[in-house]
Amino acid sequence: MARWSYPRPSSSEITPRGVWLSRRSLLAGATLGMAVGAGPRAFAAALHTRPGPFQAAEKPTPLEDVTHYNNFYEFGLDKTDPSTRSGQFRPRPWTVSVEGLVARPRVWDIDALIAALPLEERLYRMRCVEAWSMVIPWDGFPLASLLALAEPLGSARYVAFESVVRPAEMPGQTGGLDSLAWPYVEGLRLDEAMNPLTLLAVGLYGETLPNQNGAPLRLVVPWKYGFKGIKSITRIRLVEKMPPTTWNQMNPAEYGFFANVNPEVDHPRWSQASERVIGAGGFFGGGRKKTLMFNGYGAQVAGLYGTMNLRSFY
């Protein structure tokens, strides 16, 4: 496995020892530090990177755009709501339970989980179903690594995910009739969940995940539309039947369970043939590119779908 030295923060950015929540040696012998609360929160770490599909060739979207143009309806409907209305959200302490059809169910403390699994940096394209896209350097670990620790039973066929419900900290959860039903829920087929591309992210740009991007733990499935990337996860359940998913329940005619990026299948209200590249040329002119089947990850994932009619499984 190729190793890559993550840039160290300058000494002024290094968090005082006293506030580091966890510290441990990675396989490479480097140290991982995670700060809690306010202040700098860099991973002073050597993160593993793997070449190939795990490192997109495109330029990363500027951090400012990644953290100020968001979808996170628990904080409101506008793209700026997640960054401006999530200040009171507390992603620590935090637990995530892995349960259901597994031999070893466990309720993980988030920092114990981060200490248990080596972190990698993955530069992935993200294509939102609303026809905009970004390229984001995530820090995280493969979902497969966590599932392996739980030992899925033979009867497990799907993985169901659940976001946190905290109306006191999430103003969008007290919304009116147009509100989504909470918790936000998502799901993957077990083989999709086990694919090496499927990531659980705990950071981006080398820092702990900002609240607006799904702190402290969110799913990243780069060949699917962004809404599959459920944020602020508290529960991961292995199940036998296809689990309900938030957007499919809200509007089944427009959002499917699989939601694989597909430029040939238009959304009922807009084309999916091309996408607006955020941070590359502004809202008008430039910054548009053609959308690729499976968001360009077909070599890695097309085999998951065999002869499935991708049109009807939108």
Q: Within 13 Å, how many C-alpha atoms sit on residue 87's CB side?
A: 3
Q: Please give the structure tokens belonging to residue 219.
A: 């799913």
The residue (of 114 and 131) whose beta carbon lies closer to ligand MTE is 131
189 is in an annotated binding site: no
Token pair 């039903």 is found at: 181
Query: Does residue number 229 form part of the binding site for ligand MTE (CB under 6 A)?
Result: yes
Name residue 115's amino acid. A
Distance CA 222, CA 193 (A): 12
* Cα dihedral 78, 79, 85, 86 sign: positive
Closest distance to ligand MTE from the beta carbon of 235 (Å): 12
Number of shown-chain residues binding ligand MTE (CB under 6 A): 16
Closest distance to ligand MTE from the beta carbon of 210 (Å): 9
Q: Please give the structure tokens belonging to residue 160.
A: 């169901």
Query: Does residue number 184 form part of the binding site for ligand MTE (CB under 6 A)?
Result: yes
Q: Please give the structure tokens belonging to residue 270.
A: 């807009």
**Taking CB positions, which residue lies at the least distance from ligand MTE?**
226
Footprint (CB under 6 A) of ligand MTE, residues 66-125? 70-74
Name residue 206's amino acid. G
> Among candidates 252, 196, 27, 229, which has minimal Cα distance to 128?
229
229 is in an annotated binding site: yes
Query: Does residue number 128 form part of the binding site for ligand MTE (CB under 6 A)?
Result: yes
Distance CA 224, CA 247 (A): 13
Closest distance to ligand MTE from the beta carbon of 160 (Å): 14
* Residues at the site binding ligand MTE, with contacts judged by CB under 6 A: 70-74, 128, 163, 184, 213-214, 226-227, 229-232
- Binding-site residue set: 70, 73-74, 128, 163, 213, 218, 229-231
Q: Residues at the annotated binding site for Mo-molybdopterin?
A: 70, 73-74, 128, 163, 213, 218, 229-231
